[in-house]
Structures are given as C-alpha cells and as structure tokens.
Structure 1
Amino acid sequence: MSAPTPLRRWLATDWSQWFYPGPRRVFSADEMTRAGNQPWPRGIDHYVYVNLILVLAVTTPFHRQFVWVWPAGLILGWMALAVARWLWRMPTTRRLNLACYVVGFSVGVGGVLCVKLGGREEIQAQLPLVLAIMTAVLSAWWLLTLFRAQQIEARLRELAEQEAALRLQTRLATAQIQPHFLFNTLASLQHWVDTGDARAAPLLRDFTAYLRATLPMFERELQPLNDEIEMVRRYLAIMRARLGARLEFDIDVPAEPGVLLPPGLVLTLVENAIAHGVEPQLRGGRIGIAARRDGQQLVLTVSDDGPGLAPGWTEGVGLSNTRRRLLQALPAATLTLTDDAPGCVATLTLPIPLNASTASLHT
C-alpha cells in the first residue's frame, strides 16, 4: 500500500480544532465526582494578578485615563480567572468555545461602540495591545482546559488500574485460601465414606455449603459480613469434624447487613488462629469470634487460647496481603494483632454505613 500523499493527509486532517478547539472527551457527573475533585490551584491567581499589575504599570504609567484603566484591568483579570475556574470545574470543548466566542464578540462590539463615540484614534493605538491580551487569555483558557481534561483522564486511568489490581489481589487471595485444607477435607471424607463412618454425611453437607459460600468470592470485591461469617461457620464445622474434641469455637457476631469487607478476610484470620493457636497443641484449643458496635464502627475480634505471638514476631506475607487488601478496599478500616496471655487476638474494625439499620446483638 502506497504512502498517503500530502493532499490526502491534508484532506484527512481534522480541521474542526481550528474552529472548535478543545478536548474531545466529555466527562460524566460520576466521572467528575470520582476524579475531578482536585481544588483550584491558588497559585494561578497569584501569578495572574502579579503579571497583570506589572503589565498595567509598564503600559499605563502616564496614561491620561489612569484612574479607570487600572480598575478596569483588574476587573477584567478577575473575570478571566472566574471563567478559568468555571472551565476547571468542567473542562469541555463546549464551555471553552462559548467563553472564547463571547469574549471575541464583546471585544468587537466594544470596539465599534468606541469608534462611534469618537475614540477611533484611541482604538487604533490600543488595538495591538488589546488583541495581544485577548490572544493570551484565550490561549491560556485553551491550555488550561486541555491540561484539566488530561488530568482527569489520568486520574480515571489510575483509579481503574487500582480497581483492577484490587480485583486481581482479591482473586489471588481467594485462590490461595489454604488449598491443603480442601485436599485434607476430601481425603478425610473419602476415608470416612470407605469405612462407613457416620461423620461422612455431616462433613459432606458442611463442605458443600462451604464451597457454595466460597465460590462467589472470586467475583466480588466486597461482600457482606453476614456472608463472610456464614462461610467461617461452615469452615469451622469442617475443621471440628476433622479435629474432633481438639477444636471448640464460639461465634457471637451481630447481623449487620450494611457492613462490607474484602472476601475471605475473616476466614484468613480464623485459619491463622487454628494453624498457630490450636493445631500445635495436643490438647487443641478454642476459637472465639465476636463483634460489637462502637459508634459508626464494628469491632470484630478473632481470638485463640494458644501460645500467642512468638518473641520477635514479624508480620508474615499472608497477614501483610490481608492488611493491604483491607486498606485498599476500606481505607477507614484497621487490623491489629496483640497477645492475650494466653493466646492471640486479631482485632478488625469496619465502618458501618450511616444508612445501615440497627442490628441485633446475636445471630
């Protein structure tokens, strides 16, 4: 295929930017709410006013109409900045061109009126300066609008990338929820079925319910706390079937339909409590899951009565990933681990939406 000729390139050029310049993208109200909340840079005001005063001082030191030129110049500067703020709030091609054409029309009408009133010589003398100032103002508006539109687009891309990364982390985290737990459970189930053990049927029911509650995690960024607790309840029932009397647990969590959290987060804390607080002990141990309201927060604790945190303990990869997922999804939430003598307590605080209904104290 032959390269396009200069004529074809000229014909293919989008000439609309010559007559209707500005950004092509129009942001929706939701996009502006998400990415357009940057405040107006106050430094622009200072820069404009300082330069405007310098221009007036250089061009009109001995002007016979000095008394009104300075106030008029400062008022026009204030109006130009007001239009700039208007463009900053919604940087669209329509707004930019409306402002430009209004300014051009106003300057033209003002020039004609001055000529009619006998100021032809004054207009001819000041015309180059007026045109230079008008060109500078319109160019500044154009550059500001393009910059603002690119700024919002960049922020929207950044937010989209953060959301995609969060979704990926959620899926990776849910895919890594102790796969050996699944294999060990299936092995126990197969053994009990082969030996005709009566524990096989209850274990199969709990395991099926656990999988039914777990699989939707792969498609969720956040899930209701009630669903998370139900999944944890099924997990603990399976582990108690496997560990027998070595595992005891108690769940006392209020029904909070408005509280959301990253999927599998409480489950990860419970798994860690069993792995470090129950399984290492021959006698086993007890897991406690409780929650209470504290103003507009829900404080949830996962405790065990095991050996507690080891001396020189440092946060592992699993807990670090859990904390990062929590902060990315809910910046107001917190997660801490403390010794409880005996045992360890993981404390999770979750925000309660203002429109959430008051919950009962027991599930």
Structure 2
Amino acid sequence: MRSLLSALQCRQWFYPGPLRVFTPQEMARAGMQPWPVAVDSYVAINLLALLPAMVWTRRDDGWLHPLLWWGLCGALAAAALVVARSLWRQPTRARLNAYCYGLAAAVVAACVLLVRHGQRDWVIRENAALVAGMTGVLSAWWMLTVFRVQQIEARLRELADQEAALRLSTRLAAAQIQPHFLFNTLASLQHWVNTGDARAAPLLRDFTAYLRATLPMFERELQPLADEIEMVRRYLAIMQARLGPRLAFSIDLPPEAQAELPPGIVLTLVENAIAHGVEPQLRGGRVDVAARVERDRVVLTVRDDGPGLSAGWAEGVGLANSRRRLAQACPAATLALRDTPPGCTATLALPIA
C-alpha cells in the first residue's frame, strides 16, 4: 500500500492534477456554477499594473516597443483565461495536463524559431521571464482545477445530505401517523366485531386499504397527487365510520390535476382539519378537499368549517415538517394557512407534472 501511495505521489510530478473523475451524470447533477468574474478582474488589474513597469524598464527602446510587448502579454493572458474557463467546465486531470504540456511545447517551439531567426541573445536574456511566466500560468491552471474539483465534490455532498435529510423526514412523517388514530380505529373495530355491528366489515376494508396505501408510500420521495388523494379518501372514510354523522367530507380531484409531492403532505392537512376543525365541535363539521389547475400549477385546498385559527396560533411539528419536506423536494411549491370564517383553509400549490 505504501509503495502504491508513493508511486501515485511521484506521478504527480509528471502528471499533476486531481485524481477525482466525475461522470457526466455527476456533472449534470452538480450543475454548472458561474465562472468567478473576480478572476478576470484580477488578471486585468495585474495587466494594468504591468504596463508602467514595462514602459519604465524598456524606456530606452522607445514607447512602441513596450506597448507591443504589453499587448502581447494581454493576448497571452486572454488565451490563458480561455483555457481556464475550459478547465472550469471540465476539470479533468487529462485536460489539465494536455493544456500544460501543450503550453510548454508552444513556448519551446517559439524559442527555437526565435533562435533560428537570429534572436538567440534575446531568448537567453528573457529566459528567466519566460520560465517564470509559464510557471505562473501552469500553477494558476492547476490551482483552478483543484478548486473546481473540490467545489463539485462539495456540491455533490450537499445534495447527498439533502437527499438523506429528505429520506429521514419521510420516515419521520411515517412515524408520525397519529398513533391514537390507529389505536382508536382498532378499538372501534374490535368493539363492533364483538357486538356484531354491521359497520365492522366496511371499516376493516377501509382500514386495510388505508394501511396498504400508506405504509409502502413512505419509501418514496415523491408520489402522484392521485395516490395521495386516494389515501386521504380512505382516511376520511375511516374517520366518518368512527364519527358517524359528525363528519361530512367531499373530495374533488379533476383528471387534469396531475402533480407530484412528498407522501403524506395532504394527509397531514386533513388530519389537522379534523383534529382542530371537526372533533372539538359537538355538532361535528365538514372537510372539503378540492384541486384545480391554474396555468402551470395545481392548487389544492383543504377547508374545514370549524372555529378557525386561534389567537397566537403557531405551526406544529406536522406542518413544520411538511414545509421542510416541500422545500427540499419541490422548491417551487407553496403551503399557506388562513382563516376563512367559518373555519380554516390550507392551500397547497404544486408545479403541474
């Protein structure tokens, strides 16, 4: 292992650059960060600072000669920036070395041509400046490539952490299915079975369908709105069987309302509507779930006719978790709650699929 590491370190002397190679999928996933314009400004400022120095050191040759040299330096700097932008787009070790060895070969070839055309003394006199300039350019390309690779790696790690957080939030949402809802439903089912109540069979059918739809869905990051509404329909049917005439509901999902969302978002809104808008009232209440298409988005509302938002109302864990999951999975989605006497309305806007 040590010999292998030593060989890799020695190879950096002749074939420098980052060892990390990104696949096209990784590059597309990381996205193309904008070119740092500060690099262009830095080069321009250095060129402007170089002009007086060149004029002063070469004042014996007149004004034209230093200006020509300064123009040549500017052209070379522009070419170096073009190469730097290419490395920014594709920061690969092979591309870096191709540019580096290409530059070295071009400098050597230019010196040979100058020597053959009687400029041997000039090449010897300017040799140190040529080597210093070439070393500076190569070092800048190398540092830019290493920085860009580290930037892409950091972006990929950030996206991986976001996905892990989203998966954790999804599992948390699964764990937050109201335990009292499950226990109360099972208790009602057991009581109706023991007493031979005819409501036991429909409740068991709806409860089984609800669990079948609910448990696997939390392994997904996104699911179709139609699947979410079907789960909500089963949940409301169960609650209606338990609450009887105290709960009325309606669901309106037109076929063109097609969108995707993190699982359990609408279910959380409906649970809140029943817990805060229906169950506290002796007479019960009504929950209406409706969706409509507005331009390029689907707007879904969950409305109850309860007492509405109380004074000093603050979001609970369920709504806060829903907002966080929406922000991670659907940045363009919005969720808002407002008083609509009588009752409260939750409005969820999703980009249309």
Match of 2:126, SS state, is: helix
| CA positional deviation for 1:34 | 2.3
2:318 corresponds to which residue?
318
| CA positional deviation for 1:269 | 0.4
| CA positional deviation for 1:13 | 5.4
Q: Which amino acid aligns with 1:323?
A: R
CA distance in 2, matches of 1:207, 1:59: 85
CA distance in 2, matches of 1:181, 1:32: 46
1:37 to 24, 28, 32: 32
2:76 corresponds to which residue?
76
CA distance in 1, matches of 2:166, 2:6: 46
2:244 corresponds to which residue?
244
1:106 corresponds to which residue?
106
Match of 1:249, SS state, is: strand
Structure 1 residues 259-270: aligned runs within 5 Å: 259-270=259-270
| CA positional deviation for 1:257 | 7.2
Structure 1 residues 76-225: aligned runs within 5 Å: 76-225=76-225
| CA positional deviation for 1:214 | 0.2
Task: Spell out structure 1 runs of 4+ moving beyond 6 A.
Answer: none
CA distance in 2, matches of 1:117, 1:260: 71
C-alpha distance 14-247 of structure 1, shift in aligned 2 (>3 A): same
Match of 2:315, SS state, is: coil
| CA positional deviation for 1:57 | 3.1
CA distance in 2, matches of 1:18, 1:275: 69
C-alpha distance 257-338 of structure 1, shift in aligned 2 (>3 A): closer
| Structure 1 residues 278-337: Cα deviation after superposition (integer angstroms, max 9, x where no partner) | 111111111000011111011100001111111222222221111111112111111111
| Structure 1 residues 206-247: Cα deviation after superposition (integer angstroms, max 9, x where no partner) | 011101110122211111100000000000000111111111
> Does the alignment pair 1:24 with 2:19?
yes
Q: Aligned residues: percent identity?
A: 65
TM-score under structure 1 length normalisation: 0.92
> Does the alignment pair 1:329 with 2:329?
yes
C-alpha contact (below 8 Å) 1:224/1:257 kept by paired residues:
no
C-alpha contact (below 8 Å) 1:36/1:89 kept by paired residues:
no
| Structure 1 residues 96-127: Cα deviation after superposition (integer angstroms, max 9, x where no partner) | 00000100000000000000000000000001
Match of 1:298, SS state, is: strand
TM-score under structure 2 length normalisation: 0.95
| Structure 1 residues 68-97: Cα deviation after superposition (integer angstroms, max 9, x where no partner) | 212211100000011001000111101100
> Does the alignment pair 1:53 with 2:48?
yes
Q: Which amino acid aligns with 1:212?
A: R
Name which of structure 1's ranges 141-150 and 214-223 shifts more when overlaid on structure 2.
Answer: 214-223
1:359 corresponds to which residue?
none
2:274 corresponds to which residue?
274
| CA positional deviation for 1:259 | 0.7
Count of aligned pairs: 347
CA distance in 1, matches of 2:198, 2:226: 30
Q: Which amino acid aligns with 1:305?
A: D
C-alpha distance 89-9 of structure 1, shift in aligned 2 (>3 A): closer
Q: Which amino acid aligns with 2:36?
A: P
| CA positional deviation for 1:67 | 4.3
Match of 1:15, SS state, is: helix
| CA positional deviation for 1:30 | 2.3
Match of 1:14, SS state, is: helix
1:356 corresponds to which residue?
none
Match of 1:219, SS state, is: coil
CA RMSD of aligned residues (A): 1.6
Q: Which amino acid aligns with 2:38?
A: G
CA distance in 1, matches of 2:156, 2:26: 7
Structure 1, gaps ≥5 residues long: 354-363
Q: Which amino acid aligns with 1:175?
A: A
| Structure 1 residues 254-284: Cα deviation after superposition (integer angstroms, max 9, x where no partner) | 2357410110000000000000111111111
CA distance in 1, matches of 2:332, 2:165: 19
Structure 2, gaps ≥5 residues long: none
CA distance in 2, matches of 1:317, 1:94: 51
C-alpha contact (below 8 Å) 1:225/1:256 kept by paired residues:
no
CA distance in 1, matches of 2:254, 2:20: 47
CA distance in 1, matches of 2:157, 2:6: 33
Q: Which amino acid aligns with 2:229?
A: I
